Amino acid sequence: MGSEDTRQTFTGHLYAKLVARGIHTFRDDEELEKGGDIASDLSRAIEESKIFIIIFSKRYADSKWCLNELAKIMDCKKEKGSVVVPVFYHVEPTDVRNQGGSFEDAFLEHAKDADQEKKKTIETWKNALKTAANLSGYHLQNQ
């Protein structure tokens, strides 16, 4: 759902409301089996989901996990027509789309000492961000 910087605030409240309404909601810190293979469990959960709400926040791009999840989600959208709803939480959609602001800072950090394989992964992340940020969603500023 969101990155660590929104887990106890917006993402946590949204998760609680969806669950209270009876909507089966997956959140990686709640649903992953303890002791299980996180990457395969998470990949399976993404593949089994139909709707995704992605919370883009200032620190979202700091997380390789979030970026890898996003790339997988965007693959599911392309291959299976999954619904993706972006929420821009205290970030500008253009910063997500073009990797500006805090997203630029994160990608500069990711690019340090990157080999060819890592550079390819970074391009995948950038394309996923651009595609997701071009979708119709919600822009929440100071709310």
**Backbone conformation region of residue 137, classed left if phi is above 0, alpha if psi is from -120 to 50, else beta:** beta
Asked if 117 is an active-site residue, the reply is: no
Q: From the candidates 69, 92, 117, 123, which is the catalytic residue? A: 69
Long-range contacts of the stretch 106-114 (C-beta < 8 A, 24+): 106/59, 106/60, 106/61, 106/62, 107/61, 109/62, 110/61, 110/64
What is the number of other CB atoms lying within 10 angstroms of the CB of residue 103?
Answer: 25
Q: So which residues are the catalytic ones?
A: 69
